[in-house]
Chain A
Amino acid sequence: MNFEAVKAIYIFEMSRFFRTLMQSFISPVISTSLYFVVFGTAIGSRIDSVEGISYGAFIVPGLIMLSVMTQATANASFGIYFPKFMGTIYELLSAPVSFLEIVIGYVGAAATKALFIGVVIFVTAHFFVELPVAHPLAMVAFLLLTCLSFALLGFIIGIWAQNFEQLQLIPLLVITPLVFLGGSFYSVSMLPPVWQTVTMFNPVVYLISGFRWAFFGTADVPIAVSLLAIALFTGACLVVIWWILKTGYRIKS
């Protein structure tokens, strides 16, 4: 294992993040505050509680997941796409590093950035609502797994994308709608029965439900199913990455 290379990639990627630290820090704080103002105060004031939890607190796990998923995907996809776009990928390909080490470096950095943003939102939320955490270990585990799995997905998108439009395509057309419709702002039990069935095909439902369980001890789906869902998703991403490694897809001719 070339640890120095993994460290070099990780530090190089993180330095990009620290260069724009204020933007990285301020934008999730502002967007979270806006969500609280709009959903928590304006709309939430008309909703007493959801499953016994104040609406303001109820949306926090969904908000964290929304940001973490989109940030992990965006950071990882950009991280590996940018060297392809700039041509600097020649250095990665000619260095004594394995594909696995490249993945660890880029995915690790993207997951760290997403985790940082998740923590910022978590802390910001405390200024607006009272937020209990029923299962802290489970909360951390869900958060870490989500950062990791969506960073893996982002890495795959970054390898696949051949232009900036394609880089945006999946996050905009697939991830954002799935996250919004995945129960970020509502409980699945609030939907009509037909839509409750339909929504079960949305994998994000299981992630948000599991994460919410870690906070409040209540969930739309059993916690074991949520864990299985995130394990399957991570596994699927790893299989695709293994295939990219074997075939050199869109990296090596």
Chain B
Amino acid sequence: MASILSVSDVNKVFEGGFEALKSVSLEIEEGEILALLGPNGAGKTTLISIICGMVNPTGGTVRVGGHDIIADFREARRLIGLVPQEINLEPFERVLNTVRFSRGLFGKRRDDAKLEAILRQLSLWDKKNARIKELSGGMKRRVLIAKALSHEPRILFLDEPTAGVDVELRKDMWQIVRQLKKDGVTIILTTHYIEEAEAIADRVGVISKGEILLIKEKAALMAQMGRKELEIDLDAALDAVPDALAHHALTLGEGGRSLIYSYDTAAARTGITTLLGEVAKAGLVTRDVSTRQSSLEDIFVGLVEDAK
């Protein structure tokens, strides 16, 4: 698939010498959802701010739909919609006016039918004449999305879209994101919630201390980096792992009633068959066997820890 956003060797050094981004490169394919994960201060918002034109890069190039973000900023920015992290809205403005303003700002002619469709899609049409200050926090976030979509962008940036949002609204938001993907919009979202990336992203990027640690297909990432655990529930509790099984690097489960074996799903041999045979040979009675895949969160924490 064609790349719609190309970031190469971008770095940013703020006044005072703080290096927020170090030679960041990434390619975003048209129509995908990329989740950018990273701890606070990792450089997620700086990267988005550079791509969208709010912060000047110190070095490197960014191309949006083939247009350089500096030399050809108008064409590049026309393709982008941005939903910022903070709820930045003028409290006394009315919903429809503020969305209409955004459309005009991006050089599009007034088209109230188009705006009606966007507001209806976001369940905001009933509130079109409400003042922003009269809306709930969730509704305000929807207004920000409506503003970002008002000029029909091909790429949508969602900077922490569900920060401080309750579970129900978060799932609502995911639904909106999935719908936008169906409509052909490329989505790049930053998040703290691993659950969010796991639920909606096609690819996951991990950024820490201004560096992209990896970018992978979510499923491939899980398969490649995910370790699985096999838990063997025993009939009787053990005080320690029997000597006969010591070479398997097992740990005891809660109350000594289970043995836990960690293995790599990508390995040629997982060692499960041998282990189960030796457990029986050691005279242990197995009551149940279960496996558990490590979550994206475990992978993320592991990567960020390794980078320290």
Contacts and interface: CB of A to CB of B under 8 A. Distances in A.
Contacts of A224: none
Nearest to A20: B92
Interface stretch (A92-100, A123-131, A227-235): A92-100
B88 A253 contact: no
Contact of B102 (A11, A19, A91, A253): A91
A68 interface: no
Interface in A66-98: 82-83, 86-88, 90-97
A90 B104 contact: no
Contacts of B147: 91
B82 interface: yes
Interface string B69-108: 0000111111010101010111110000100111111111
A240 to B, nearest CB: 20
Interface size class of B (residues with CB under 8 A): 20 to 34
Most interface-central of B86, B90, B109, B147 (chain A CB within 10 A)? B90
A4 B102 contact: no
B55 A97 contact: no
A88 B88 CA distance: 5
A97 B105 contact: yes
A87 B132 CA distance: 14
Contacts of B104: 4-5, 7-9, 11
A90 B45 CA distance: 12
Nearest to B53: A94
Contacts of B109: 4
A107 B87 CA distance: 26
Given A87-B88, A90-B82, A253-B14, A95 B105 contact: yes
Contacts of B56: 248, 252-253
Contacts of B92: 19
Contacts of A82: 90
For chain A, what secondary structure do more than half of its interface residues adopt (helix, strand, loop), or is it mixed?
Answer: helix
Interface string B49-77: 00011111000000000000000011111
B90 A5 contact: no
A4 B88 CA distance: 22
Contacts of A83: 90
A100 to B, nearest CB: 13
A96 B88 contact: no
A49 interface: no
Pick the most buried of A7, A11, A19, A253: most chain B CB atoms within 10 A of its CB: A253
A162 interface: no
Nearest to A105: B105
B54 A252 contact: yes
Contacts of A8: 100-101, 103-105
B15 interface: yes
A86 B90 contact: yes
A118 B61 CA distance: 49
Contact of B82 (A2, A4, A9, A94): A94
Nearest to B88: A87
A195 interface: no
Contacts of A2: 74, 107
Contact of B89 (A5, A86, A252): A86
A96 B74 contact: yes
A2 B106 CA distance: 8
A12 interface: yes
B55 A94 contact: no
B91 to A, nearest CB: 8
Contacts of B55: 252-253
Contacts of B15: 253
B242 to A, nearest CB: 62
A96 B54 contact: no
Contacts of A95: 77, 105-106
Contacts of A166: none
A7 B101 CA distance: 9
Contacts of A19: 92
A15 interface: yes
B77 A94 contact: yes
Contacts of B84: 87, 90
A126 to B, nearest CB: 35
Interface in B134-153: 147
A140 B145 CA distance: 45
Nearest to A7: B104
A99 to B, nearest CB: 11
Nearest to A87: B88
A86 B132 CA distance: 13
B104 to A, nearest CB: 3
9 contacts: A4-B105, A12-B101, A86-B89, A86-B90, A86-B91, A88-B89, A91-B82, A96-B75, A96-B76
Interface of A: 2, 4-5, 7-9, 11-12, 15, 19, 82-83, 86-88, 90-97, 248, 252-253
